Amino acid sequence: MGTQTWKVIVKQNYAVLYDEAWHTPIVCIEQLAVDDLNKNVGDETARFYTDGALDFNVSPQGFPRMKPPMDAGRLAARANNVNSEAAFAETFSTVNVVPMDPLVNRGIWCKIEKNARRLVSKWNDVIILSGPIYNFNSAND
């Protein structure tokens, strides 16, 4: 990937290591507690937005690797961030978005997110690390 321009960005319920050169999060860490998941906030009309922590202005659809038919997949799931309106809204930040195959986003990724919440209900507290996988050697990455 060449010279890295990485930045740590901390949100209310998650943090990301973000590569500004590639316009993508490298890794996301979030801590889920059972009490945080027992609330039900969040505006279903929320939209993705360019995060002010970034040194550039780009929409998720404008990401270099966000080409149709890719989804704007979130590393920190919106369903994991229902303890406050602000935390829920932050899941729509561009620092939390990666291009994701729709079949992965709505399939296995959704199952992984649900299983993480299930573990929280069993163990009360879980730390999750997630990140994208890119194939830079393929024309269809």
pLDDT digits (tens, 9 = 90+) for 1-46: 556 689 999 999 999 999 888 788 999 999 999 888 877 776 667 7
Q: What is the distance in angstroms between the CA of the first residue and the CA of the last residue of the chain? A: 14
pLDDT value at residue 141: 44
Angle at 11 between CA 9 and CA 13, to 5 degrees: 135
Identify whether the C-beta of residue 17 lies closer than 8 Å to the C-beta of residue 98: no
Q: Residue 25: is the preceding peptide bond cis (ω within 30°)?
A: no
- In the chain the domains, ranked by start, together with CATH numbers, are 6-130 (3.40.570.10)
pTM confidence score: 0.82
Instruction: Outline where 14-125 has alpha helix (H).
Output: 34-37, 85-90, 102-105, 108-123
